[in-house]
Amino acid sequence: MTDEEKIKQELENKFTYLKDAVIVKRKSRVFAAVPLEKFKHVFDYAVKNLGFDGLCAITGLDLGESLGVIYHLNREGRLTLNLTVALDKEHPQVATVTDYFPGADIYEREMVDLLGIAVKGLATGQHYPLPDNWPKNDHPLRKDWKGEAKHA
Amino acid sequence: MHDSGEVIIPIGPQHPALKEPECFLISLRGEKITAASIKLGYNHRGIEKACESRTYIQDLYLIERICGICSHSHSTCFVQAVEEIAGIEIPGRAKYIRTLIGELERIHSHLLWLGVAGHEIGFDTLLMYTWRDREVVMDILASLTGNRVNYGINTVGGVRRDIKPDHQEKILKAMDLLEERTKYYIELGSSESTLIKRLSKVGMLSRADAKNLGAVGPTARASGIERDVRKDDPYAAYAELDFKVITSDKCDVYGRTLVRLGELMQSFSLVRQVMQKIPSGPITVKTGRKIPSGEAVSRYEAPRGEDFHYVRANGTEMPERVKVRAPTLANIQAVSKMLEDRYLADLPIVIAAIDPCFSCTDRMVTLHDQTRHKKNTFAWETIRRKSISWYRQQGVDFKALNKKMAKLF
Amino acid sequence: MWQDLFNILVFPGGLFLFVFGLAAEFVDRKLYARLQNRAGPPWFQPLADFIKLIAKEDLTPGEADVAVFKLAPILALAASLAAFLYIPAWGKRALFSFNGDVIVVLYLLTLPTLAYFLGGWYSRSVYSMIGAVRSLTQLFAYEVPLFLSILAPAMLADTWNLSEMVSFYSRHPGYCFYNIPGFVVAVIALLGKLEKVPFDIPEAETEIVAGAFTEYGGKLLALLKTAFNIEMVVAASLLAAVFLPFGLDLAPAALGLLYLVRVFFIIAIVAFLRTLFARLRLDQMINFCWKYLAPLALAQVALDLVLKGVLAR
Amino acid sequence: MSVISKVINWSRLKSPWVLHFNTGACNACDIEIIAALTPRYDLERFGVLLKATPRHADIILCSGPVTKQVSSRLVRIYEQMLEPKFVVAIGSCASSGGVFGGCYNVEGGIDTVLPVAAYIPGCPASPKAIIDGVVKLLTSLEE
């Protein structure tokens, strides 16, 4: 059995609700959709028990009806595990992962600025990447954002 | 400048690349750095948003221009993700050509870095000579792709230009020349005591910190982390090529220099292997304009470290989401760690050592004197100059070396 | 009357010095570029720069003190020009001379630096003010060694008159060799006076843009540049007269040529030195001047005093 | 044309001092400008000097599309230059906004903010093109 399948199996054994939610796309690419309320458990397990010791990036998504966040983890630089979380569009909020990876700070700030996803536990700090005087509740990466007119 | 009390110096924000403009807020007590924080986000152009309203082919050219120095890295990384979603297997020859351009780009970028690093520590002759050598690679890239910097060689399904037989000899000759030069630089780096003094124990980043802060590329490898996407998650033709991942356990700027010099040697060997093993055949496969829905993650070892792209397609001609994580963004967070307890004189070389995109010659420094509540602005060069003279005071000087090198050429 | 006017405005005053200054700038820049393995500028470059600057718009920064800002370059230019009249550039006699003119020349050569300080300070720009303070601080470091190194030969010659000094040394060319330490000190101090690498701290382009000159542009910058070039030529002439008074009994034409050779020799030394070194920091520069240059100049004074005693016996 | 204006024109042609300003470029044009200063191209032989202060410069070389944050600073720098002054847009982005045209944080080419005297195309403009462009601008001043 390959490493990818092992991870799929371990995740599915540990978390029954992940049955059929873990997909091995190709060699060293595993995707998993995780319910928001269970995310912390899965993330913790992946980092502490499955040996995922690196965070490539965090991607924020606008999926139309909902928002999404993908955490791209990797193991020893090789295998990538992508945990997708769907968020409610009205009050999108996730918990910070900076206690696992201090480097996640910048990716989370980017999500806050560009998509308006609140990150619980993220230390107050500077904006990134938008300027400080950027209007509040104005998030360019939202699909319904019509900023061109507003800023022209 | 002001020896009494704490002084905060913001460095930046004139930094042009998409993800990589930076402003370091440096708190100083005398010459010592007490704290450093980073402010990013200047010159944010909104490329990710723009990608969503352009077709895949248009995006390719836009993405190539995220960074002018590692343009091939970004475009290859993006196109790989698109091809993965579409389920396209590109021809072997195209893979080799992508590898070739990627390695040539690494050579040009590392030589450029070496010159810039020399400039930061007052070793200007190194700048002049490495940039002169760099022109050799630029010539090859220009004859292969038609452009010196943004090559535009990638397309969805392969590459746009083939290598002609007469390129072969030219490339091999240039590799021999550059290898000889690089050997000289390596000898210089391992024997010249002033260079070692100036770089050793500066900008320390322990293995654990490098891991925690998510450092990538030469910065991580110089902290003893053996990670290289080319080896770990092979793309293009790297699985069929033989090369070593260069690491160093020095954890300092000197280690990062050695790693880059070692990588130059590996790149020469890789280019030679590519020229030997390149299969014949077509260079593209035909693809439709529409890409089926799906998502893919693509990684690429750019000269500065791991480049990461996430692409989500929705079945139309345009992507739904493109996420770019440039290597400098991953590395820049380690800089404040590296600057802890260092002298102001070390600042330029520490920042340069992660190799942020270095075109900004007019990056400004604002000096905020808290005692007088007045803002003073200095060029980035002030810090550099200060650093050089500080080290000269400590007995580290490149004058003799500059002269020695001038004689050699 | 007309003769004096001609002397002051055309030869050997204004126009001649202006052209000579441009030539000196060219030699300096070309040598610098060639030593850096570059082609360097064409011969007319300084002239083209000058005309272009003269033809540019005149602009005074809003915050600047207009009177001082505009007067400073003129003061610098006038002081350098005046100093030249007392220097026996060729031959043994200067155009004007009186007992004590050595001191006057040295002070006239200090005036441009003061003018740069005033101009920079009253520009009211950060770079300019830092540059101005730096140039004044630097003045205190190099001025003493420079004065001492020039006054020592005067002591040996037992006169405060430059022309008499030159006559004395051309009668006793051997004595010049006793003054070699003084010559070395004077050349190094000259680098400070002319604000050249390694002592270009006040106008360190990469640090504080252009120091005291940052806010100057157009005509005023042209004047400043000219004052600078003339200061370079005049100071080099002074050094040539005091330390290299050889072959002064030749025919007038040969004398003129010899003068040019001597001045360009000193300018070439300056150009070489500035290729070899990198910029020092201000405190290092002051340390260097007081720790090494000033004692060396004092030693020269002592040497000359002893020599004078020996000779008098 | 009188002799004096001819002489002045000549001097302007022979002594272009430039200021480099990055308005949000991708680095490519900037490394090419620096490459133009290194021994292979050596711009000083044309009398071109890279100046650090806008007061001394005759020509401002702008690279990159003008981002929203940078445009006010660009105008300020331009205003500090003395007449006659010229703006040269280096590269496609500086000429028209290039591939970044329409991005939400980008104003467009340099000409949306300043009057541009010469456009040097290319992505990036090669050192040779930069030298050629500056020389062409100067020759056009003769008329």
Cβ atoms of residues B348 and B380 within 8 Å: yes
In CATH, what number is assigned to the domain containing residue D34?
Answer: 3.40.50.12280
Question: B39, B45, B233, B312: which to substitute to probe chain A, counting the most A Cβ within 10 Å?
Answer: B233
Helix, strand, or coil here: B348? Answer: helix
- Domain assignment present for B28: no
Are chains D and A in touch, 3+ Cβ pairs below 8 Å?
A: yes
Q: How confident is the model at residue C160 (pLDDT cuts 50, 70, 90)?
A: confident
In angstroms, the CA C177 to CA C179 distance is: 5
- Using a CB–CB cutoff of 8 Å, tell me whether A101 touches chain B: yes
Q: What pLDDT does residue A70 have?
A: 92
Return the DSSP state at C290: I
Closest CA to B353 of B394, B304, B399: B304
Q: How confident is the model at residue C138 (pLDDT cuts 50, 70, 90)?
A: confident
Partner B, chain D 88-117, Cβ-Cβ below 8 Å: 93, 98-100, 102-106
Q: Which is more confident, D27 or B389?
A: D27
pTM score above 0.80: no
User: What are the residues facing B22 on neighbouring strands?
Assistant: B40
Q: What are phi and psi of C220, to 5 degrees?
A: -65, -35
pLDDT in tens, A96-142: 988 888 888 888 888 888 888 888 888 776 676 676 677 777 788 88
Q: Report residue C35 as tokens.
A: 């030593």
Q: How confident is the model at residue C27 (pLDDT cuts 50, 70, 90)?
A: confident
Are chains C and A in touch, 3+ Cβ pairs below 8 Å?
A: no
Is D99 in Cβ contact with B62 (below 8 Å)?
yes
- Using a CB–CB cutoff of 8 Å, tell me whether D40 touches chain C: no
Q: What pLDDT does residue B110 have?
A: 92
In angstroms, the CA B319 to CA C111 distance is: 69
Strands of the A67-75 sheet, one edge to the other:
A22-26, A29-34, A79-87, A67-75, A54-62
Q: How many residues does chain C have?
A: 313
Nearest residue of chain B to residue D70 (CA atoms): B43
Q: Which domains does chain A have, with CATH numbers?
A: 3-137 (3.30.460.80)
- Residues of D in Cβ contact (< 8 Å) with B50: 100, 102-104
pLDDT in tens, C53-89: 887 777 766 666 777 778 888 888 888 888 887 787 7
**What kind and span of H or E run contains B391?**
helix B380-393
- Supply the range of the domain harboring residue D125: 16-140
In angstroms, the CA C130 to CA C212 distance is: 8
Q: Quick check: ipTM above 0.85? A: no
Which regions of chain B are under pLDDT 50? 1-4, 7, 9-21, 30, 358-379, 409
Q: How many residues does chain D have?
A: 143
- Residues of B in Cβ contact (< 8 Å) with D44: none
Is C127 in Cβ contact with D53 (below 8 Å)?
yes
Return the ∠ at Cα B168 (arms to B167 and B170), rounded to 5°: 65
In angstroms, the CA D88 to CA D73 distance is: 17
Could you state, in order of their start, the residue ranges of all structural domains in chain C? 2-312
Nearest residue of chain A to residue D102 (CA atoms): A148
Calculate Rg over the CA atoms of chain B.
22
Q: What pLDDT does residue B241 have?
A: 92
Average pLDDT over residues C5-21: 76
Q: Where are the beta strands (DSSP E) in chain C?
A: none
Return the DSSP state at B6: E
Helix, strand, or coil here: C172? Answer: coil
Q: B6-11 and B32-40: which strand pairing?
A: unpaired
- Residues of D in Cβ contact (< 8 Å) with C37: 39
**What kind and span of H or E run contains B307?**
strand B305-313
- Residues of D in Cβ contact (< 8 Å) with B45: 24, 65, 67, 100, 103, 105-106
Q: How confident is the model at residue C203 (pLDDT cuts 50, 70, 90)?
A: low
User: What are the residues facing B28 on neighbouring strands?
Assistant: B7, B33
Q: How far apart are the first and last CA of chain A?
A: 56
How many CA atoms within 13 Å lie on the side-chain side of B99?
Answer: 31
Closest CA to B329 of B18, B97, B87: B18
- Supply the range of the domain harboring residue B102: 45-329
- Residues of B in Cβ contact (< 8 Å) with A56: 297, 299, 306, 308, 325
Q: Which is more confident, B397 or C45?
A: C45
- Domain assignment present for B39: no
Domain count for chain B: 1
Average pLDDT over residues C197-222: 63
Tell me how close the Cα of A127 comes to any Cα of chain B, in angstroms: 8
Chains that touch D (3 or more CB pairs under 8 A): A, B, C
In angstroms, the CA B267 to CA B246 distance is: 11
- Domain assignment present for D46: yes
User: How many angstroms separate the Cα of D10 from the Cα of each of C50, D47, D118?
Assistant: 12, 12, 19
Cβ atoms of residues B21 and B40 within 8 Å: yes
Nearest to B46 among D30, D38, D105 (CB): D105
Core vs surface per residue D71-98: b (16+ CB within 10 A) or e: beebeebbebbbeebbbbbbbbbbbbbb
Is B39 in Cβ contact with A28 (below 8 Å)?
no
Residue C30 clears pLDDT 60, i.e. is over it = yes
Helix, strand, or coil here: B357? Answer: coil
Closest CA to B253 of B106, B357, B120: B120
- Domain assignment present for B345: no
Q: What are phi and psi of B347, to 5 degrees?
A: -55, -50
Return the DSSP state at B303: T
**Tokens 């207009």 belong to which residue?**
C66
Tell me how close the Cα of D44 comes to any Cα of chain C, in angstroms: 6
In CATH, what number is assigned to the domain containing residue B275?
Answer: 1.10.645.10
Domain count for chain D: 1
In angstroms, the CA D27 to CA D41 distance is: 19
- Residues of D in Cβ contact (< 8 Å) with B358: 27
Closest CA to B251 of B193, B198, B210, B302: B210
Tell me how close the Cα of D94 comes to any Cα of chain B, in angstroms: 13
Mean pLDDT estimate for chain D: 79
- Domain assignment present for D10: no
Partner D, chain B 63-92, Cβ-Cβ below 8 Å: 65-69, 71
Helix, strand, or coil here: B363? Answer: coil
Q: How confident is the model at residue D42 (pLDDT cuts 50, 70, 90)?
A: confident
In angstroms, the CA D126 to CA D143 distance is: 27
- Domain assignment present for D76: yes
- Using a CB–CB cutoff of 8 Å, tell me whether D45 touches chain C: yes
Q: What pLDDT does residue B194 have?
A: 63
**Amino acid making up residue C269:** I
Residue C105 clears pLDDT 50, i.e. is over it = yes
Classify residue B116 by burial, with Cβ atoms within 10 Å: 0-12, 13-18, 19+: buried
Q: What pLDDT does residue B276 have?
A: 92
